[in-house]
């Protein structure tokens, strides 16, 4: 079970929950299940989301495994210069 | 991702050396082709008409007289760029910024364009375009724009991120919040509290090469764009979206680039050039003047930041809080949010809260500028930390070491850190001779830390082995900082061949798979990963070809020092075969030999730096000279140390300019007063000392060679490092950058 924390902007799209427990072993599975549970998250997940797993920020590699007990946060995809 | 990017320690022969850059001869002899150096037969000159008003409704545009000018082939207005954005607000903002639709939102906003056979005809036509404006009240100051009586730029913007949702529109487009713990409880534990407002002014990236492109739209729906950009694949997507082109039918070629620093991650005039070409039926060359670059392309935000930090008498920070207001130009962006995320990232804090407000003003649309938004936040926080150290009576470095984040610290923007480099850069600063060197009269020393996220992203490379065994490396990330040299070193290292045998080129969008932009310090990080992957794929094929020639199982062949070798005593009489020998036989062993790679290079890892600055301030004029400057930063592994040092020095130089002189100055009429390098003062060589660098190498566990991005973090600490040094030199806390001579004199007068 993954306990995922949402950034503030996503909370209203997920029944005002800041953290959500999801059964998932990869980022892809996590995002798919979040979308199924909260369809309002579908649009932001498509192109605005990065996922931090144990402090490492993933912007593209949705195949990344989520270890047991990992700290997982949904963050906004950031701009760089 | 099938490629294993895990770091492995190994002896490297070439990585870490400093060979001559492959693009150097072309650049010093003037042969390198930049944006404006390309021409097509029959090309027209494109020019853009810009609003003289900071805020004005466009009542009508009459182009008849302009169209009648001899030599004019097309006159363009927003009507020629229909809205195809399908409700995507971000893309709509880009469209509206390229060519104003209902309102001109800032001085310099494009309102019409012309393509003509020569410059004179184009200029004449621009003067004949008749535009009736209804001038509206404007606001350019970030704090003034948040007041209730400020003119509202966009009636459809209601602040997002607040509960309950506001009932009235305002210039505050969004609110974001980060942090953890209980700041009120933290401040209650504090013996000392520092609280102050800090301001930074809007600055431009200041790249030497203005935006330039040549666009050609054909009648069959295909198009070509030659352009100076940090990301030709992204420009292709943006332009195709705005013009309704099939993405693959628009071929974009990136020119050499004379600086970008984030400002060339965004389209400004390119869609206009394509639309002009489509209308005129001929190629169009569009080159911005320096004035246009300043007035109408990507400056960074001006900011107003409130910081409050509380600490115990022993220097331990108990709570930290910041409220950050960032100007966005007329369109909402993520700029204050980035500032709110990065502001306290260097510190291990139990109680921290940051709140960002995106503020719309009648200034140009803000674009990324090297570690976007982080330098201003760091200026405010690192100034407050410096003041805190003085109040506590502690050395500024020691107080930061006491409070620095480390592995296991919960970052102020959310995640818990893995292994990070803030501690090592501070410890290196503490023992650096610069910190203990004596200071003279009117001199002061300051130091500051900085943080930036680094990115990886989508990357694709082709590595082609020619018949003579030399290698072409085609990459899709534009070379803005010497990456062709670094990537050639990496390819040569992997293949075990000389650096000189590699030719690295930046391929166009038709000849290579998609690549994200060169931004987020990702160029060398991500493309080196794809290059290693491509080289390993090529080595596999080279071994297969050798096995075929020897008629032995491929499992018995391995690659070493540029040769295929047979393993085990039973092949003792087989001499190793070189890449040249295998390449020469390729036609008879299965055809051309190449290695390809497509991957996403995630796992870039965050980056930290510590800077030390000495200044001398003339108390009579308020002029400041930087007399010594040191940059300490973790590179993971410096592939080509000279270019890593160059990135450190370049970021520091830009930050010093921002700290001392650079500033957009607006008149009461909302017009930019200093759109040129005479009045907008960037530092030149004679303004700066040799910037000393210290490269730390703490390998990135998520890159095969341990590489980290190095391009951006170096611009984060200088604003604070310089301002702290000036504050220490003059004995007054300078809380508004640039700390230009008038501001220093005013502070000295107030003190007196």
Q: What is the mean pLDDT of residues B705-731?
A: 97
Residues B281 and B335 in one domain: no
Identify which of A7, A58, A79 has the shortest CB distance to residue B368. A79
A6 part of a folded domain? yes
Residues B668 and B544 in one domain: no
Beta bridge partners of B672: B666
Rounded to the nearest angstrom, the minimum Cα separation between B600 and chain A is: 6
B492 part of a folded domain? yes
pLDDT at site A48: 86
Which residues of chain A lie closer than 8 angstroms to B205, CB-CB? Answer: 81
Which residues of chain B lie closer than 8 angstroms to A4, CB-CB? Answer: none
Residue B500 confidence class, pLDDT cut points 50, 70, 90:
very high
Rounded to the nearest angstrom, the minimum Cα separation between A51 and chain B is: 10
* Model confidence at B331: pLDDT above 50: yes
B286 part of a folded domain? yes
Residues B577 and B663 in one domain: no
Interface contact B658, partner A, CB < 8 A: no
Whether the ω angle into residue B738 lies within 30 degrees of 0, i.e. cis, is yes
B407 part of a folded domain? yes
Among A53, A61, A79, most B C-beta atoms within 10 A, so best to mutate, is A79
Rounded to the nearest angstrom, the minimum Cα separation between B699 and chain A is: 15
Size of interface A-B (CB pairs under 8 A): 97
Question: How many domains is chain B built from?
Answer: 3
> What range does the domain containing B75 cover?
35-136+210-257+264-296
Dump pLDDT digits (tens) for A52-75: 999 888 988 899 999 999 999 999
- DSSP 8-state secondary structure symbol assigned to residue B43: P
A81 part of a folded domain? no
- Inter-chain CB proximity A80 and B417 less than 8 Å: no
Q: What is the mean pLDDT of residues B730-750?
A: 97
Cα separation, B512 vs B524, whole angstroms: 17
Residues B324 and B399 in one domain: yes
Identify which of B334, B338, B417 has the shortest CB distance to residue A55. B417
Whether this model's ipTM surpasses 0.90 comes out as: yes
Which residues of chain B lie closer than 8 angstroms to A64, CB-CB? Answer: 602
Cα separation, B403 vs A50, whole angstroms: 28
B372 part of a folded domain? yes
pLDDT over 70 percentage in chain B: 100
Cα separation, B189 vs B401, whole angstroms: 20
Dump pLDDT digits (tens) for B153-163: 999 999 998 98
Residue B88, token pair as written in the block: 């995507």
Residues B462 and B444 in one domain: no
Which residues of chain B lie closer than 8 angstroms to A81, CB-CB? Answer: 205, 261-262, 265, 368-372, 519-520, 711-712
pLDDT over 90 percentage in chain B: 96
B177 part of a folded domain? no
Interface contact B370, partner A, CB < 8 A: yes
CB B378 within 8 A of CB B610: no
Residues B637 and B706 in one domain: yes
> What range does the domain containing A70 cover?
2-76
Cα separation, B434 vs B447, whole angstroms: 11
Residues B483 and B426 in one domain: no
Residues B336 and B232 in one domain: no
Phi then psi for residue B610, to 5 deg, are -130, 130
CATH for A11: 3.10.20.30
SS3 B385: helix
Residues B580 and B657 in one domain: no
Mean pLDDT over the full length of chain B: 97
- Inter-chain CB proximity B337 and A52 less than 8 Å: no
pTM above 0.90, yes or no: yes
Residue of chain A minimizing CA distance to B457: A60
**Which of B563, B584, B600 represents a domain boundary (last residue)?**
B600
Residues B386 and B468 in one domain: no
- Inter-chain CB proximity B605 and A79 less than 8 Å: no
Interface contact A64, partner B, CB < 8 A: yes
Which residues of chain A lie closer than 8 angstroms to B338, CB-CB? Answer: 78-79
pLDDT at site B1: 46
Q: What is the mean pLDDT of residues B141-164?
A: 96
Q: What is the mean pLDDT of residues B526-540?
A: 98
Which residues of chain B lie closer than 8 angstroms to A63, CB-CB? Answer: 1
Dump pLDDT digits (tens) for B600-618: 998 888 899 999 999 999 9
CATH for B39: 3.90.1170.50
Cα separation, B326 vs B335, whole angstroms: 6
Residue with tokens 């082609």: B464
Rounded to the nearest angstrom, the minimum Cα separation between A58 and chain B is: 6
Question: How many domains is chain A built from?
Answer: 1
Dump pLDDT digits (tens) for B16-43: 999 999 999 999 999 999 999 999 999 9
Strand order of the β-sheet with B212-217 is: B72-76, B110-116, B44-50, B284-287, B212-217, B223-227, B250-254
pLDDT at site B249: 98
Residues B547 and B628 in one domain: no
Interface contact A80, partner B, CB < 8 A: yes
Residues B96 and B221 in one domain: yes
Contacts of B102 (CB under 8 A, 6+ apart): B57, B58
- Inter-chain CB proximity B415 and A60 less than 8 Å: no
CATH for B529: 3.30.365.10
Identify which of B337, B418, B712 has the shortest CB distance to residue A80. B712
Report, in angstroms and rounded to the nearest whole number, the Rg of chain B calculated over CA atoms.
27
B175 part of a folded domain? no
pLDDT at site B90: 93
B153 part of a folded domain? no
Dump pLDDT digits (tens) for B385-420: 999 999 999 999 999 999 999 999 999 999 999 888
Which value, to the nearest 10 degrees, does the dihedral of the CA atoms of residues B233, B236, B237, B242 take? 160
Dump pLDDT digits (tens) for B242-299: 999 999 999 999 999 999 999 999 999 999 999 999 999 999 999 999 999 999 998 9
Identify which of A12, A56, A60 has the shortest CB distance to residue B600. A60
A48 part of a folded domain? yes
Q: How far is CA B603 from the centre of its chain?
A: 19
Cα separation, B724 vs B719, whole angstroms: 8
Interface contact B340, partner A, CB < 8 A: no
A-contacting residues in B 65-124 (Cβ below 8 Å): none
Residue with tokens 């003279």: B440
B702 part of a folded domain? yes
Interface contact A69, partner B, CB < 8 A: no
B-contacting residues in A 18-47 (Cβ below 8 Å): none
* Model confidence at B360: pLDDT above 60: yes
A60 part of a folded domain? yes
């Amino acid at each position: 079970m993954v306990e995922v924390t949402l950034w503030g902007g996503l909370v209203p799209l997920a029944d005002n929950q800041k953290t959500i427990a999801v059964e998932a072993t990869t980022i892809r599975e996590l995002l798919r299940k979040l979308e199924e549970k909260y369809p309002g998250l579908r649009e932001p997940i498509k192109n605005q989301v990065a996922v931090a797993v144990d402090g490492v920020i993933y912007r593209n590699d949705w195949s990344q495994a989520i270890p047991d007990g990992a700290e997982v946060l949904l963050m906004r995809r950031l701009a760089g210069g | 991702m099938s490629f294993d990017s895990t770091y492995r320690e190994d002896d490297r022969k070439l990585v870490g050396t400093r060979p001559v850059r492959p693009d150097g001869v072309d650049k010093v002899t003037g042969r390198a082709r930049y944006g404006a150096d390309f021409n097509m037969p029959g090309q027209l000159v494109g020019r853009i008409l810009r609003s003289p008003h900071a805020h004005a409704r466009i009542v009508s545009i009459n182009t008849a007289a302009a169209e009648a000018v001899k030599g004019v082939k097309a006159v363009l207005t927003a009507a020629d760029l229909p809205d195809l954005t399908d409700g995507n607000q971000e893309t709509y903002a880009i469209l509206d910024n390229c060519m104003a639709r209902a309102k001109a939102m800032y001085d310099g906003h494009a309102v019409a364009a012309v393509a003509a056979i020569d410059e004179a005809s184009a200029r004449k036509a621009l003067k004949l375009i008749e535009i009736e404006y209804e001038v509206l009240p404007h606001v350019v100051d970030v704090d003034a724009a948040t007041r209730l009586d400020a003119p509202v730029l966009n009636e459809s913007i209601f602040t997002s991120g607040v509960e309950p949702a506001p009932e009235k529109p305002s210039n505050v487009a969004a609110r974001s919040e980060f942090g953890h713990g209980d700041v009120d409880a933290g401040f209650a534990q504090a013996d000392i509290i520092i609280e102050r407002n800090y301001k930074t002014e809007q600055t431009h990236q200041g790249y030497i090469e203005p935006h330039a492109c040549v666009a050609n739209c054909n009648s069959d729906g295909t198009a070509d764009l030659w352009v100076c950009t940090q990301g030709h694949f992204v420009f292709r997507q943006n332009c195709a979206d705005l013009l309704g082109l099939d993405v693959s039918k628009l071929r974009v070629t990136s020119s050499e680039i004379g600086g970008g620093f984030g400002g060339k991650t965004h389209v400004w005039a390119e869609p206009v050039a394509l639309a002009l070409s489509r209308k005129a039926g001929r190629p169009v060359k569009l080159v911005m003047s320096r004035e246009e670059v300043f007035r109408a392309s990507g400056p960074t935000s001006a900011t107003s930041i409130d910081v409050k930090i509380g600490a115990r008498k022993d220097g331990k920070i108990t709570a930290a809080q910041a409220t950050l207001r960032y100007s966005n130009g007329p369109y909402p962006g993520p700029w204050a949010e980035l500032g709110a995320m990065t502001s306290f990232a260097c510190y291990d804090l139990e109680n921290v809260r940051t709140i960002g407000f995106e503020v719309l003003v009648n200034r140009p649309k803000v674009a990324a500028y090297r570690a976007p938004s982080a330098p201003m936040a760091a200026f405010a926080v690192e100034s407050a930390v410096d003041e805190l150290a003085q109040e506590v009576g502690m050395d500024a470095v020691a107080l930061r070491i006491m409070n620095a984040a480390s592995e296991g610290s919960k970052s102020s923007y959310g995640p818990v850190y893995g292994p990070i480099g803030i501690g090592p850069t501070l410890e290196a600063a503490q023992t650096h001779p610069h910190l203990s060197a004596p200071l003279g009269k009117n001199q002061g020393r300051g130091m500051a830390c900085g943080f930036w996220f680094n990115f990886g992203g989508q990357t694709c490379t082709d590595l082609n082995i020619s018949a003579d065994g030399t290698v072409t490396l085609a990459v899709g990330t534009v070379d803005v900082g010497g990456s062709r040299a670094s990537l050639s070193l990496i390819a040569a290292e992997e293949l075990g061949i000389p650096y000189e045998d590699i030719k690295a080129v930046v391929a166009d969008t038709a000849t290579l798979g998609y690549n994200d932009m060169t931004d987020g310090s990702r160029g060398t990080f991500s493309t080196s990963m794809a290059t290693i992957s491509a080289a390993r794929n090529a080595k596999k094929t080279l071994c297969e070809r050798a096995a075929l020639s020897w008629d032995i199982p491929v499992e018995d062949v391995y690659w070493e020092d540029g040769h295929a070798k047979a393993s085990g005593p039973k092949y003792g009489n087989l001499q190793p075969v070189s890449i040249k020998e295998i390449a020469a036989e390729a036609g008879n062993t299965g055809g051309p030999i190449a290695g390809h790679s497509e991957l996403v290079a995630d796992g870039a890892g965050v980056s930290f730096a510590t800077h030390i600055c000495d200044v001398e301030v003339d108390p009579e004029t308020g002029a400041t000279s930087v007399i010594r400057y040191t940059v300490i930063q973790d590179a993971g592994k410096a592939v080509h140390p000279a270019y890593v040092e160059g990135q450190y020095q370049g970021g520091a130089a830009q930050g010093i300019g921002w700290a001392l002189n650079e500033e957009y100055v607006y008149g009461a009429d909302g017009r930019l007063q200093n759109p040129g390098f005479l009045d907008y003062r960037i530092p030149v060589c004679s303004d700066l000392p040799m910037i000393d660098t210290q490269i730390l190498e703490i390998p990135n566990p998520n890159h095969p060679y341990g590489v980290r991005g190095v391009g951006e973090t170096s611009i984060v600490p200088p604003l604070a490092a310089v301002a702290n040094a000036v504050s220490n030199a003059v004995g007054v806390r300078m809380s508004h950058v640039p700390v230009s001579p008038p501001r220093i004199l005013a502070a000295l007068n107030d003190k007196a």
